[in-house]
Structure 1
Amino acid sequence: MSTKPLISPTRIYVEPAAAELPRGRAVLDRFPDAERVEVDSHWRIPELHGDEANARRWVRIKQEALVLGVKKSLSARPNGRSAHFIAPSTANGCAMACAYCYVPRRKGYSNPITVFANIEQITGYLARHVARQGPMTEPGQVDDAAWVYDIGENSDCSVDALVSDNVRDLVELFRGLPTAKASFATKHVNRDLLDWDPRGRTRVRFSLMPERTAKLLDLRTSPITERLAALDDFRAAGYEVHVNLSPVVVHDGWLEDWRELLVALGDAISPATRDQLAAEIIMLTHNAALHEVNLRWHPRAEDVLWRPDLQESKRSEGGGTNVRYRRGLKRALLDDLLGLIDQYAPYLRVRYAF
């Protein structure tokens, strides 16, 4: 197993305005030996974004580069699946390298972590947005009693917490908001979060897939066994713990692999965790451009991700063209997985599946 840290920046690209803010200075102080490169915009760094040659340096860039910027536009977008609202990002990009990740499609290729330094502005906006909603009066599939805000749409908050205190600030914000919860999905077990005392106001969704598939596709992430072992600990520390069964990737033996995972899930958790556990199921969506990039750095992944015999084109909500399992086939595949859940994890409430 590699002993290299997940992220150890040797170069930080800095917007001047970010460097002037307290959080920006704190990030720079955290990595005092890193070279600092001033940039006009975190969106426009040619040597990081938009250069296809970077596919060959994908993982190295994620480990060694960090970007420090200011979030210009603040909005909480309605969602309705994982959350009621998508909160304004406090970071984007990731130090991990999952072969199916949609984020690189939106910001160049390797897309290392960008930290937004204007955290006080973001938390102030969120507090006001929550206040405007008032109490939630009708329960739904997102939550029975609270407005849920996804705080990690474009990054992994457990990894972001290795770089700055932004995520801790968000957890502490929602700890004091009785009508709302924060929520984020993660593939990294960061046990520093266990000391944050969230008091039930942050939902952590641990992403799970069978170990065999994860070893091929979930690069630089925590092993599935480590994620399973963390579920009880995070629930005991005051988090609401859910799981994301995602992405569901179809290949020879996939159902048997999922059966083994569901058995392992049941063996790993206590009755208290089981009683509050819920799941989201997300079938694989892929993309032709990402397929081409993956062929440059991790072609073995495409043996299972790129399946023209099973997939069809799909127009995404953002206007892009992706591929997914064919409509009728997708329903049958999903029903097969739901049948396994009924048999091997009947306690697991499926919040939504698509």
Structure 2
Amino acid sequence: MTFHDPAAAVITTRLWRPRRVVITAAARDYPHGRAIAARAESLGLSVEALPGNRLTGLRHPDPRRAYLEAKNTLAVVVAPPTRLKLQPIPPSADWRVDLTEGCPAHCQYCYLAGSLSGPPVTRVYANLDEILGNLAGYVGRGGVTSASAERAHEGTTFEASCYTDPLGIEHLTGSLSAAIRHFGAWDAPVSLRATTKFAAVAPLLALPHGRRTRLRFSINAAAAARYEGGTASLRERLAAMGAVARAGYPVGLTVAPILPVPDWREAYAALFAEAAAALDGVNDLDLTAELITHRFTPGSKAVLEGWYPGSDLPMREDERSRKLTKFGSVKYVFPAEPMREMRQHLTQEIAARLPRARVLYWT
């Protein structure tokens, strides 16, 4: 497989097949909910029609068992009213828009640990038309791209992957494609953003996106790949990024979570060299980079240790700096000197190997 073969990114990637698919009574009232159920059945999956709107059978006294059962469940539900009251999501975008909640991947540093309540079921929202129709009221009101001279050309930005990986379940939901078509047809200064660790981009390549959706691919040094179970390989992700870039999409690199792995300078230099090879020859390339270091909270650490009891992911508080978030909660980040050194090296390597990339932020 070469980086210049878009089909290879699709043919070789593995699609998630949940062991349990359920749809609530309320979700069956929506055409999109029924379409998701039909998609699952067309793939040979059995769909359980729940008599009500509660998800049951997911609690278990063993946290690992509860985790595995939840992670193997796709639930088609209706987004609650709170999901229609959008929240700002700096530094990525003006607003967070949730098409889904939950993710089929098994990342040992999972960003959702401690953020979502209950078992980590992947919930996809049946009332998609309502969710997308709600966005117009937020245009021009954001505090990130809407208020930034450097990023104002992006318009009002909506982040679709805060609580999910929408591409990882797109073959079952079709929600990301619908959102891309919505933004492509929207005559307003707006753009959609989504990031992924998956590679099944075939359904997206011919969509009328109007260059209003930026697809970012989460990548990391090879030594960190073992922390990302159930995802597409780095090579597949980069090939997929090349495919969507050649289909005219703006693209991005989400380098996360940055870790001082052994020989990290050489490892990240090699990563950016591979990314450059994947994008070689894209004439109308619009490329960004977002650099996100590893951090954790006491709550997320406790959850992750229950989910992945054998993990050697470095989460020792005495090796980190203790910080307070704007909400007053505690998080642990790398000390100032390693942070400074990693930031300087990674931004220099990006400038040298991917000179057309705009680094949006380091955090």
Structure 1 position 200 matched with structure 2 position 192: no
Counterpart-to-counterpart distance in 2, 1:26 and 1:314? 45
Q: Tell me the amino acid that sits aligned with residue 330 of structure 2.
A: T
Q: 1:241 aligns with which of 246, 251, 274?
A: 251
Instruction: Map Cα deviations across residues 290-335 of structure 1 (whole Å, 9 max, x no partner).
Output: 333433453453x333133431233335554322112444233322
Name the structure 2 match of 1:267. Answer: 277
Name the structure 2 match of 1:34. Answer: 47
Identical-residue share of aligned pairs (%):
23
Alpha-carbon shift at residue 237 of structure 1 (Å): 1.6
CA contact (8 A) 1:138 1:145 kept: no
Q: Tell me the amino acid that sits aligned with residue 35 of structure 1.
A: E
Counterpart-to-counterpart distance in 2, 1:317 and 1:338? 26
Q: 1:163 aligns with which of 146, 156, 172?
A: 172
Instruction: Map Cα deviations across residues 184-226 of structure 1 (whole Å, 9 max, x no partner).
Output: 1111112222132312010001111012211x11111110111
Structure 1 position 307 matched with structure 2 position 316: yes
CA contact (8 A) 2:26 2:52 kept: no
Deviates more, 1:155-164 or 1:219-228: 155-164
Counterpart-to-counterpart distance in 2, 1:98 and 1:264? 22
Name the structure 1 match of 2:222. Answer: 211
Residues 1:300 and 1:137: Cα distance change in structure 2 (over 3 Å): closer
Name the structure 1 match of 2:238. Answer: 228
Q: 1:67 aligns with which of 75, 97, 106?
A: 75
> Could you tell me the TM-score, scaled by structure 1's length?
0.85
CA contact (8 A) 2:63 2:307 kept: no
CA contact (8 A) 2:245 2:285 kept: no
Counterpart-to-counterpart distance in 2, 1:40 and 1:272? 47
Name the structure 1 match of 2:298. Answer: 288
Name the structure 2 match of 1:189. Answer: 199
Instruction: Map Cα deviations across residues 259-308 of structure 1 (whole Å, 9 max, x no partner).
Output: 1111111222124368421101011112333333433453453x333133
SS at match of 2:173: coil
Gaps of 5+ in 1: none
Give the 5 Å matches for 1:1-354: 5-12=15-22, 14-32=23-41, 33-38=46-51, 40-41=53-54, 45=56, 47-48=58-59, 53-56=62-65, 58-59=67-68, 61-63=70-72, 65-71=73-79, 72-73=81-82, 74-87=84-97, 89-108=98-117, 110-130=119-139, 140-177=149-186, 178-191=188-201, 192-214=203-225, 216-272=226-282, 275-301=285-311, 303-317=312-326, 320-354=329-363
SS at match of 1:104: coil
CA contact (8 A) 1:52 1:109 kept: no
CA contact (8 A) 1:52 1:293 kept: no
Alpha-carbon shift at residue 102 of structure 1 (Å): 2.0
CA contact (8 A) 1:68 1:117 kept: yes
**What's the RMSD between the two structures over aligned residues?**
2.8
SS at match of 2:153: coil
Residues 1:310 and 1:157: Cα distance change in structure 2 (over 3 Å): same
SS at match of 1:195: coil
Counterpart-to-counterpart distance in 2, 1:39 and 1:255? 54
Size of the alignment, in residue pairs? 342
SS at match of 1:341: helix
Name the structure 1 match of 2:7. Answer: none
CA contact (8 A) 1:280 1:352 kept: yes
Gaps of 5+ in 2: 1-11
CA contact (8 A) 1:80 1:142 kept: no
SS at match of 1:333: helix
Structure 1 runs of 4+ with >6 Å offset: none
